[in-house]
Amino acid sequence: MYDVIEQPKIDPNSESPLAINEQLVSEWLIDFIRDELVRRRGFSKAVVGLSGGVDSALVAYLCARAIGPENVHCIRMPYRSSSCESLEHAKLVADDLGVNLHTVEITEAVDGYLKSFAPEADGRRRGNVMARMRMIVLFDQSEKYRALPIGTGNKTERLFGYFTWHADDSPPINPLGDLYKTQVWKLSKYIGVPTVIVDKPASADLVVGQTDESDFGIKYELADKVLSYLVRGYTPERMIEMGFEREHVDIVKKRLDGTHWKRHLPTVAMLSSTAINDFYLRPVDY
């Protein structure tokens, strides 16, 4: 007869599931950028879409430390409705780091399509067009500077599917992809991202007045705790038993389950035993 091993008790108020060693994490991510960009791919420069938000700011700081600020090209890509504060905060980061800062206005490119072919487009469609236009710019600028685009999406956004497919997720390497948003905030404070950027409400800045948390219907601090247990295999029922509110668990679970397809490459119809990404794999060996 085997002993039954109980799962450890969950404390919904505990911060321990999201605790990180900021020094160790920052050193690892700096090494990751240097290793992936320089050694594995043969680049010496990076391009970062600098939005004025905390995620892209943190990536800019990491890249500057990994390869030197002179080798980092940060691109601001405002649309006419973009927040002036966002532009100012992006410049604040660039000035603090001494990286190269470029501004590419995307209004005419976005409106050229929308006015001609999609004048009826709602806010969601318009936001997606903006996001994808920014990736067109970022990849073209990477060719101009012979640099590699660096992603800025965090783990919460990825698990929630809170990004534009084939836009925000397009850059080939992503230092923040395994950090929840609350961990991004912690690491940003540690590494020296200006407080005014770390403390402001998170927003994709695609629609005036929009914030991430208003879209989610739940605060990041709580969403991250729920996510951290769900992805480790805890059932919603078990979490509710241990003190999480059903409403919060349901919000997170619905988003997690409903966006699984966005975290994968296109599904290929397999015809052979060498189908790319199904049979033909190259392990990343660290």
Written as tens digits, the pLDDT of the chain (286 aa) is 444 444 556 778 888 889 999 999 999 999 999 999 999 999 999 999 999 999 999 999 999 999 999 999 999 999 998 889 999 999 999 999 999 999 999 999 999 999 999 999 999 999 999 999 999 999 999 999 999 999 999 999 999 999 999 999 999 999 999 999 999 999 999 999 999 999 998 876 666 666 788 788 899 999 999 999 999 999 999 999 989 999 999 999 999 999 988 888 777 788 887 777 666 565 554 4
Is the distance from CB of 176 to CB of 153 less than 8 angstroms?
Answer: yes
Q: Is residue 243 one of the residues assigned to a domain?
A: no
Q: Is residue 233 one of the residues assigned to a domain?
A: no
Q: Is residue 223 one of the residues assigned to a domain?
A: no
> Residue 1: its pLDDT value, please?
41
Q: Is residue 35 one of the residues assigned to a domain?
A: yes
Q: Is residue 3 one of the residues assigned to a domain?
A: no
Spatial separation of the C-alpha atoms in residues 47 and 49, rounded to whole Å: 7
Is the distance from CB of 139 to CB of 172 less than 8 angstroms?
Answer: no
Q: Is residue 4 one of the residues assigned to a domain?
A: no
Measured on CA atoms in the order 126, 258, 183, 28, is the torsion positive or negative? negative
Is the distance from CB of 59 to CB of 177 less than 8 angstroms?
Answer: no
Measured on CA atoms in the order 187, 189, 191, 197, is the torsion positive or negative? positive
> Residue 16: its pLDDT value, please?
84
Measured on CA atoms in the order 113, 168, 62, 204, is the torsion positive or negative? positive
The CATH number given to whatever domain includes residue 89 is: 3.40.50.620
> Residue 2: its pLDDT value, please?
42
| 3-state SS assignment for residue 217 | coil
Domain range enclosing 141: 16-201
The token duo for 250 is 């349901």
Spatial separation of the C-alpha atoms in residues 283 and 286, rounded to whole Å: 9
> Residue 10: its pLDDT value, please?
72
Q: How far is CA 127 from the centre of its chain?
A: 16
Is the distance from CB of 74 to CB of 95 less than 8 angstroms?
Answer: no
Tokens 């349901």 label which residue? 250
Tokens 């691109």 label which residue? 75
Sheet strand arrangement including 72-76: 100-103, 72-76, 46-49, 148-149
Q: What is the pTM of this model?
A: 0.90
Contacts with 66 (C-beta within 8 Å, 6 or more apart), sequence order: 30, 31, 33, 34, 37
Q: Is residue 61 one of the residues assigned to a domain?
A: yes
Tokens 């919603």 label which residue? 236
> Residue 5: its pLDDT value, please?
42
Using alpha carbons, select from 132, 155, 141, 286 the residue that is nearest to residue 228.
155
Is the distance from CB of 69 to CB of 99 less than 8 angstroms?
Answer: yes
Q: Is residue 266 one of the residues assigned to a domain?
A: no
How many structural domains is the chain composed of? Answer: 1
Burial class (CB in 10 A: 0-12, 13-18, 19+), 13: exposed
> Residue 208: its pLDDT value, please?
63
> Residue 272: its pLDDT value, please?
83
